[in-house]
Structure 1
Amino acid sequence: MLYPKEKYLESEAFPFAAFPYPTLPERPLTPHTHDFIELVYVADGRGEHLYKGHSFPVSKGDIFVIPPGVEHDYRVIGSAPLKVYNILFVPSFLDAELQALSKVSSFVNFFYVEPFLRQKTDFESHLKLSFLEAKEVQLRLERIIEEFDRKALGYRISIKALLIELLVWLSRCYDERLVQLQFRPDDASIRELCEFLAFHYAEPFHLEDVCQMCGMSKTSFTSKFKQTIGKTFTEYRNEVRIHASLKWLRETDEQIIRVAELVGVGDLSYYNKLFKQFIGMPPREFRKKYRSSP
């Protein structure tokens, strides 16, 4: 399904739109493309972004860009809506400004890279904003949306200025991440470990193994991991495992105990406890609610 700019953007003279959009749990899947750029900020809720045939978790604080012509959609997880802010515009909307900004490498990296596609660190595919950054971005987006809704005198000039300011601010956030990784090699090794876990989450290695992989003592690794990722190694690996199990529950008839084993959780009661903790419902209820059609 193509979402055309004529339907979603204001006009040919001002090809732009901005609005909050709550995706409800009962909303049917509607994979679609569009002929405009979509800047997305996840303000609340939990779900999956279905992008080029792959599924990626999204939650509060994620911000990313979907270029024209790429098929994508969202699936809500849990009973609460997935609340996102959408900024839509065609590339020519900021033609002169984007040409100037393209000389800034961090802007190019954040704005043009296809989100969730490259198998590198999180910073090369999208931005996960900190609590304070998320507050800042939401305020900026609400100012843009208010201008677009009110359409007061000079609103088009104001919107362009606010949008450019937002994009520059996001590029600075991205650039700060790169600087942090460059001068804090421990962070880089931890993020490489997270990339490794994305493919090897079911393997039964222990904390001592990952400490050795990162070249750190147990005390140093535990502290650095929590500081860098915002949760313990065990919490992070459990979250990765539970998310990986969603596909098995949706798309296969495997028994739940077998699904737990496939993602590296050998104890069914522990898997059920983790699943409800991260997803908000038991795995059996999730399978019944989100089971893919044959």
Structure 2
Amino acid sequence: MKTDFEIHFAKQAENPAMDMYHYHDFYEIYYLFGGERFYYLENHIYHVAKGSVVFVNKNDIHKTLEGGAGHDRAVLYFTDRFLGRFTDEQLKLLLSPFRSSGKVMPFNNQQQSYIENLLFQMKKEYADSSLPGRSLFFESLLVQLLLFTSRISMEAEQIAPKPMDGKMSEIIGYCNENYVKPLTLESVSSRFFISPYYFSRLFKRSTGFHFPEYINTLRIREAQRLLREDDGKIIQIAERVGYSNITHFNRTFKQVTGMAPLTYKKMIRSVPKT
């Protein structure tokens, strides 16, 4: 993400899965104009229908899955810095949908019209980078959208996630608590008395991730947090998140984040805190 606010629209006849596991240190709002999607978000799978919003919090692991007959959507992203002038109390209200237990909200036709009007105004403004006061315009529309959805979320029921297989839910919980250990597909499948072949298929079908992808995502997400908040050496951080080989850590970190650990650390330390 090159700026503190972005918005993108897309329409597809088919619903392929997102290529990679995914997380980021900014907020994401996903709105579905039409069609349907299956969305993996923080250990749950949601069926997202027309007129629904998905709220992806910072560092939530998420991925769209295969399924459904096409979709038309808008996605907008924004950083903490973009709303930096608001007080903690105001941000608590504005960002409440991202922190609720349900991550997907459906809206009726009237509410959809209001949301879509805001999104299309953003789209029109986004197309012309020369407009004066462009950032202020985005901020005003985003605040309207966040306030609108926050108020409704306090009253309305959110979409419940699709129940995950009991055994798989137990496995995911185990991985989330023990990812710094030397977990392998074989060791985890053996622990839960499942054949490695069946375990691999079940894990992919349930989460959209291959098992090694998921473990690496958990580890690198924690490594990023440590690089932001800890003064330890990179080799020490690699060991703390489960990598005994620094070369493997560096390669995996770059695959997940697009940059080397040292580059990430320097970039984070150069950004002024708000």
**TM-score relative to the length of structure 2:** 0.53
The question of 1:51 aligning with 2:38 is answered no
Which residue is equivalent to 1:172? 151
Which residue does the alignment assign to 2:52? 62
Q: Which amino acid aligns with 1:142?
A: F
Distance 2:209 2:91 in 1: 41
Q: 2 CA distance for matches of 1:155 and 1:175?
A: 31
Instruction: Choose from 24, 29, 33 the match for 1:39.
Output: 29
User: Conserved in 1, the CA contact under 8 Å of 2:46 and 2:104?
Assistant: no
CA distances 1:46-99 after superposition (whole Å, capped 9, x unpaired): 12101234322111121132122222111242332x222111111121022263
What does the per-residue CA deviation read over 1:7-43, in whole Å, with 9 as the maximum and x for residues that have no partner?
xx33xxxx11011133542455321112211111111
State how far apart, in whole Å, the 1-side matches of 2:11 and 2:28 are.
15
Q: Report the Cα offset of residue 100 of structure 1.
A: 4.4
1:110 equivalent among 82, 93, 97: 97
Instruction: Report the AA paired with residue 128 of structure 1.
Output: P
Q: 1:74, 1:17 → 2: CA distance?
A: 19
* Structure 2 unmatched ranges of 5 or more: 166-197, 212-274
Structure 1: gaps (5+ residues): 119-123, 179-190, 201-247, 253-286
Q: Is the 8 A contact 1:46 1:59 kept in 2?
A: yes
8 Å CA contact 1:251, 1:292 repeated in 2: no
Query: What code does the residue aligned with 1:102 have?
Result: L
Q: Given the superposition, is the C-alpha separation of residues 94 and 165 from structure 1 closer, same or farther in structure 2, using an over 3 Å criterion?
A: same
The 1:47/1:251 distance shift into structure 2, 3 A limit, reads farther
Within 1, Cα distance between the matches of 2:41 and 2:51? 18
Question: What is the alpha-carbon distance in structure 2 between the residues aligned to residue 38 and residue 292 of structure 1?
Answer: 20
What residue is the counterpart of 1:78 in the other structure?
A: 68
The amino acid across from 2:118 in the alignment is R
Higher helix share: 1
2:68 corresponds to 1:90 = no
The match for 1:261 is: none
Q: CA deviation at 1:140?
A: 0.7
Cα distance, 1:33–1:108 mapped onto 2, change above 3 Å: closer
Question: What is the alpha-carbon distance in structure 2 between the residues aligned to residue 56 and residue 176 of structure 1?
Answer: 20
Q: Is the 8 A contact 1:29 1:75 kept in 2?
A: no
Structure 1 position 101, deviation (Å): 1.7
Q: TM-score, normalization: structure 1?
A: 0.49
Work out the number of aligned pairs and report it.
172
Quote the sequence identity (%).
18
> Displacement, 1:108?
4.9
Q: Which amino acid aligns with 1:170?
A: T
Q: In structure 2, do the counterparts of structure 1 residues 198 and 164 end up closer, same or farther at CA, with 3 Å as the change threshold?
A: same
Residue 115 of structure 2 corresponds to: 137
**Structure 1 counterpart of 2:7, from 13, 18, 27:** 18
**How far apart are 1:136 and its partner, in Å?**
1.3
- Aligned Cα root-mean-square deviation (Å): 3.5
The SS at the match of 2:9 is strand
Question: What residue identity is the alignment partner of 1:138?
Answer: E
- Choose between structure 1 and 2 for higher RCO, CA contacts under 8 A separated by at least 6 residues: 2
Aligned AA for 1:96?
R
The code of the aligned residue for 1:135 comes to S
